[in-house]
Amino acid sequence: MAIITKDILRLAYTSTRIDQLSDNGGGPDDTVLDQIIARAEGVIKNALAKIYTTAEIEADDGVKRICEIFSVYYLEARRGDVPAQVFADYKEATEILGSLVRGETALASATEVLPSISLDTGRGPLSQDSFFDGLPTERVEEY
């Protein structure tokens, strides 16, 4: 079982933007999304594997939010310029993942510290505004 699906990711960040970011010149590419999600899930599962079972990790809403945020960040980073809000969200999610690894936060409480997503609006993971409309961008080097 996966932490998130492509459909969940499209709800988290708007389907149009996900399609733009996954386009390799021939239209939206679901293979790109599969790879991005697998990368985000791999980072999360590797970080938490010594503390939690795979079932616990995949079922937790906070982990799902972190996975959404990581996936959006990795997608934006493919283009080089990451919107400032996406970078801030990624940094916050990374800090929360670190607190989970250190045992400072438990899975259930991680959901409480991450702002909630509005699935009805299709707005970005942590922002009430669109991530890509008029935001300053920050250059991020891919590692």
Amino acid, res. 82? V
Give the model's confidence band at 90: pLDDT under 50 very low, under 70 low, under 90 confident, else very high. Answer: very high
Predicted local confidence at residue 110, as pLDDT: 58
Cβ 64 vs Cβ 119: under 8 Å: no
How would DSSP label each residue in 57-81? Answer: HHH-HHHHHHHHHHHHHHHHHTTSE
What pTM does this model have? Answer: 0.76
Q: How many whole angstroms separate alpha carbon 105 and alpha carbon 42? A: 20
Delimit the domains of the chain by residue range.
6-117
Q: How many whole angstroms separate alpha carbon 20 and alpha carbon 24? A: 9
- DSSP state at residue 13: H
